Chains A and B, each alone.
Chain A
Amino acid sequence: MRGASLLSLCGLLAGLAGSPAGAADAAPPQAVAPGIYVIPGAPDAPSAANSGRVANSGIIVGQQGVIVIGTGTSAADGERILAVIARLTAKPVLLAINAYAAPEHVLGNGAFARRGIPILAHRETGRYMAAHCAACLGNLKEQVGAAALADTRPQGPDWLIDGATTLVIGGRRLEILHDGPAQQPGSIAVFDPASGVLFAGGLAAFAAVPDTRDADLAGWRKALDKLQALSPSLVVPALGPPGGAARLGETRDYLADLENETRRAQAAGMSLFAASASVTLPRYAEWAMYARNHRRNVHFQFLRQEALDFAP
């Protein structure tokens, strides 16, 4: 209950801080390396106050054009990102990337598709979006209101990849990283070797509880190890402010604690309902999205562990 009231207080403060113009523009882009920008999202439950803009979007400006990672949470948000880019550079937007499938990262796709900008994603992410985006748009509408989602329709990727690949585009060489199911079956990260900046997508959340609903925890931990081994100069997570490579350990620790404590509850004979109510992780209680994601994470982890019992 206290978590919930804190959240609503934060929402209220955010609402007070943002003037109508501010709400339309949201936070200004941050330059994190030459030609690389982050449009920061405020990690919190989607609400009318934040219009669902909870995740970061990345902008990479190459010599011939721009690559965008994360299209925003609505048609309006996608338009806002394109407007931000237009103020930064006159170069055309060549590509948008969906690194993972979550409303705050893909529901702005329509604004890009309308301009004929290709949208790249892992095949599994495309499949996931086809199955979930319509329902997920409905849920988001309930949280942020229909007005914020005007003209927003599910729009899938049109450039599908099946694994890790190197992309040479706009005069930039980008490493698209994928090493099997992780946060989601089609999780990818985008590494820019020239600057050392890593866009970790859904694989990382800093001081924020990630969504583990569709996760393969073992694969996710392996992916985090590999990302850290790249020694990126800066990591841009899906949720929370960019930080150093060592902070990938935060996400890894949360996943380990989630798994261990859920297993302990299960071994003690707890029911699904009891476990999701009682497996709290106070160490992470101050993180953003704790109230929204943690309990649900326990629920899904419990079900995953239970299903393992069927394996021969």
Chain B
Amino acid sequence: MPPLPRPSAPPGAPVRRWLAFFAVLAAATWAGSAPAADDDAWPGLRAALFAGRPIAEAAGDTLQLSAPYRAEDPATVPIAIRAGPVAEPGVHVRKIYLVVDRNPSPVGAIFTFTPETGGAAIETRVRIEQYTTVRAIAELSDGRLYMASRFVKASGGCSAPAAKDREAAMKQLGRIKLRIDEPAADGRPNRVQLMISHPNDSGLVMDQATRFHIPPRFIRRIDVTYSGRPIMAADLDFTISENPHFRFDFTPRGDGELKAEAVDSNDARFAAALTVSAGAVLRR
């Protein structure tokens, strides 16, 4: 499949390296001592991700971030990010960064959108290790940055034991559910749901039987295409919850094949596809 357009960086590796760098940096901090409540990880993250570029506070519907103030479960905290339409013609939302300041690996996801997507809106679920600010930063194709943030009370999400029946979960590892709302209207936003059966192990959970930590293994990259054209991609890490789940808007233009490919940190690859034909969705 064709590589995603990456105006600001060569494809693939650099973003992944950033994620890995933050994971290691943060894990080191985290293992040393829990930061005090007033520790502020953001200035360092901001400098590393965006250097000196100005970041505007999102106003109105420029960028909306929804998250519960007090989470029902720290291991599955629902997050919804929606960027409003961009006024300037020819400019679109290119990336949305999802940052959980006080997580062991704060840069949880970097979503990439294209003009083909037809809007930048994404929902997922994250793990939250301790009370934290959660941020969404939208990067426009002209380089402007907007940020929305929320404080979320949740703790222990990264080190919480995952699947109740691990053996059963591993048997269906990598199974993908891909859905698009029907009828898949031509030229109007449709909601796509993508869910991957995967423990998304953080590496921070102890196996109670062996007393060893379960090694990290998580979905690190997702590519969604429509008839071969990229519509959404994501660089991810274990901040994303078990059974990674994403809902996003997509505006199909004409018939085509919607395809999702995922790769995990062990380089295992998974894929699913469905065909949109005159508004009807054919699974295969």
Residues of A within 8 A of B (CB): 127, 130-132, 135, 138-139, 185, 213-214, 269, 271-273, 276, 295-296, 299-300, 303, 306-307, 309-312
CB distance from B128 to the nearest CB of A (A): 13
Chain B residues with CB under 8 Å of chain A are 66, 68, 72-73, 76, 78, 80, 123, 125, 155-156, 159-161, 164, 172, 175, 177, 181, 191, 195, 197, 208, 243, 245, 247
Given A269-B191, A273-B80, A299-B72, does the pair A135, B125 have CB atoms closer than 8 Å?
no
**Interface on chain B toward A: helix, strand, loop, or mixed SS?**
loop
- Additional pairs, 5, CB under 8 Å, beyond known A135-B160, A138-B156, A295-B72: A127-B208, A139-B156, A213-B73, A271-B123, A273-B68
Q: Give the Cβ gap from B255 to chain A, nearest Cβ, in Å.
A: 23
A57 to B195, CA, bound (A): 42
Contact status A310-B197, CB under 8 Å: yes
Pair B156/A135 contact, Cβ less than 8 Å: yes
Beta-carbon contact of B125 and A272 below 8 Å: yes
A312 to B208, CA, bound (A): 28
Residues of A close to B195: CB separation below 8 A: 306, 309-310
Contact indicator B181/A299 (Cβ below 8 Å) = no
Q: Is the interface of A mostly helix, strand, loop or mixed?
A: helix
Q: A130-B208, A306-B195, A310-B197 are in contact. Are A271 and B78 (CB under 8 A)?
A: yes
CA distance A126 to B66 in the complex (A): 37
Chain B residues within 8 Å of A139, by CB: 155-156
Chain B, Cβ-Cβ closest to A275 = B78
Instruction: Kindly provide the distance from the CB of A236 to the nearest chain B CB, expressed in whole angstroms.
Output: 27
B207 (CB) vs chain A CBs: closest residue: A131
A310 and B177 form a contact (CB under 8 A): yes
A300 touches B73 (CB 8 A): yes
Neighbouring B residues of A132 by C-beta, 8 Å: 161
Residue of A139, A310, A312 with most partner-chain B CB within 10 A: A310
CA distance A233 to B164 in the complex (A): 35
Q: A272 contacts B208, CB within 8 Å?
A: no
Contact of A185 (CB < 8 Å), options: B73, B125, B164: B164
Contact status A309-B177, CB under 8 Å: yes
Q: Which 3 A-B pairs have the closest CB atoms?
A: A273-B78, A299-B72, A131-B161
Considering the chains assembled together, what is the distance between the CA atoms of A91 and B174 in angstroms?
57
Query: Which of A271, A276, A311 is in CB contact (< 8 Å) with B72?
Result: A276
Given A269-B181, A273-B78, do A131 and B208 touch, yes or no (CB 8 Å)?
Answer: yes
Partner of B172, one of A271, A296, A303, A310: A310
Chain A residue nearest to B172 in the complex (CB): A310
Residue picked from A132, A139, A214, A273, most chain B C-beta under 10 Å: A273
Q: Which of B76, B80, B164 meets A299, CB within 8 Å?
A: B76
Cβ contacts A to B, 16 pairs, < 8 Å: A127-B208, A131-B161, A139-B156, A213-B73, A271-B78, A271-B80, A271-B123, A272-B125, A273-B123, A296-B73, A299-B72, A299-B76, A303-B76, A307-B243, A310-B197, A311-B172
Q: Do residues A310 and B76 form an inter-chain contact, with CB atoms below 8 A?
A: no
* Docked pose: A311 CA to B169 CA in angstroms: 10
Give, as a whole number of angstroms, the nearest-CB distance from A270 to chain B.
11
Chain A residue numbers with a CB within 8 Å of B155 are 138-139
Residues on A with beta carbons closer than 8 Å to the beta carbon of B247: 271
Q: Which chain A residues lie closer than 8 Å to B161 at the CB level?
A: 131-132
Q: Does the CB pair B160–A272 fall under 8 Å?
A: no
Given contacts A130-B208, A300-B73, contact A272 B78 (CB under 8 A): yes
- In the bound complex, residues from chain A placing their C-beta under 8 Å from that of B160 are 135
* B residues near A130, Cβ cutoff 8 Å: 208
Q: Give the nearest-CB partner of A271 in chain B.
A: B123
Q: How far is the CA of A217 from the CA of B175 in the complex (A)?
A: 24
Per the bound structure, the CA–CA distance linking A271 and B161 in Å amounts to 24
Find out whether the CB atom of A273 lies under 8 angstroms from the CB atom of B76: no
Query: Considering only CB atoms, which chain A residue lies closest to B168 in the complex?
Result: A311
State A127–B166 Cα separation when bound (angstroms): 13
Contacts of B164 in A (CB 8 A): 185, 214
State A139–B73 Cα separation when bound (angstroms).
Answer: 12
Give Cα A169 to B274, complex, Å.
62
Complex CA gap A269/B161 in Å reads 29
Contacts of B197 in A (CB 8 A): 307, 310
Residue from A214, A272, A312 in contact with B76 in the complex, judged by beta carbons closer than 8 Å: A272
Q: How far is the CB of B248 from chain A (nearest CB, A)?
A: 12
- Which chain A positions have C-beta within 8 A of B191? 269
Q: Please, which residue of chain B has its CB at the minimum distance from the CB of A296? A: B72
- Of chain B, the residue at the smallest CB distance from A185 is B164
- A131 cross-chain contacts in B, Cβ below 8 A: 161, 208
Which residues of B have CB within 8 Å of A307?
A: 197, 243
With a cutoff of 8 Å between Cβ atoms, the chain B residues found around residue A312 in the complex are 172
Interfacial chain A residues near B123, Cβ < 8 Å = 271, 273
Give every chain A residue within 8 A of B156 (Cβ-Cβ). 135, 138-139
Residue of A nearest to B196 (CB): A310
A309 to B68 Cα, complex, angstroms? 25
A296 to B123, CA, bound (A): 19
User: Which B residues are in CB contact (< 8 Å) with A272?
Assistant: 76, 78, 125, 245
- A135–B157 Cα gap in the complex (Å)? 10
Q: How far is the CA of A303 from the CA of B72 in the complex (A)?
A: 12
CA distance A309 to B195 in the complex (A): 10
